[in-house]
């Protein structure tokens, strides 16, 4: 089963603030743990939403709109992992070092299962 762990953005990410060395070390360690376990398929961070666009489709028309929605609606990055169950995916998400104790930071990860094509069809 494949799952994507979507990291919700925050004001620092949208302002292109550089993470601290300690945060970068912690994230590198987490990524290495995913690699060693053989579950990491991909992981990337995104530029701020202001560098992108939202493309809306409605009633046969396409509109390009300013992506400056609420920061909580933005995604800062993702991990794509392949694991045996939803519970295992949640266990990996719980290990993510995005908000160390005492940091005062609150970060949200949204976990979504990726559709798999049935190879028999």
Which domains are seen in the chain, by residue range?
2-100+107-113 (3.30.70.1060)
Instruction: Indicate whether 121 pLDDT > 60.
Output: no
Give mean pLDDT, residues 101-109. Answer: 79
The pLDDT score that the predictor gives to residue 99 is: 75
pTM of the model: 0.83
Q: Give the Cα separation of 95 and 73 in Å (integer).
A: 23
- Identify whether the C-beta of residue 56 lies closer than 8 Å to the C-beta of residue 25: no
pLDDT above 90 as % of the chain: 50
Assess whether pLDDT exceeds 90 at residue 15: no
In degrees and rounded to multiples of 5, residue 66 shows phi and psi of -65, 130
Confidence category of residue 78, pLDDT binned at 50, 70, 90: very high
pLDDT in tens, 27-47: 999 999 999 999 999 999 988
Closest CA to 14 of 78, 64, 74, 65: 74
Per the prediction, the chain carries an average pLDDT of 88
pLDDT score of 110: 94
Distance CA 88, CA 110 (A): 15
Q: Average pLDDT for residues 53-61, to the nearest whole number? A: 92
């Amino acid at each position: 089963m494949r799952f994507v762990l979507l990291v919700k953005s925050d004001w620092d990410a949208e302002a292109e603030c550089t993470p601290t060395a300690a945060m970068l070390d912690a994230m590198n360690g987490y990524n290495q743990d995913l690699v060693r376990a053989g579950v990491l398929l991909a992981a990337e961070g995104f530029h701020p939403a202001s560098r992108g666009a939202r493309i809306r489709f409605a009633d046969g028309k396409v509109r390009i709109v300013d992506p400056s929605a609420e920061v909580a609606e933005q995604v800062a990055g993702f991990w794509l992992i392949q694991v045996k169950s939803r519970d295992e995916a949640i266990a990996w998400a719980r290990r993510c070092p995005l908000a160390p104790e005492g940091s005062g930071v609150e970060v949200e990860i949204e976990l979504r299962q990726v559709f798999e094509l049935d190879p028999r069809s």
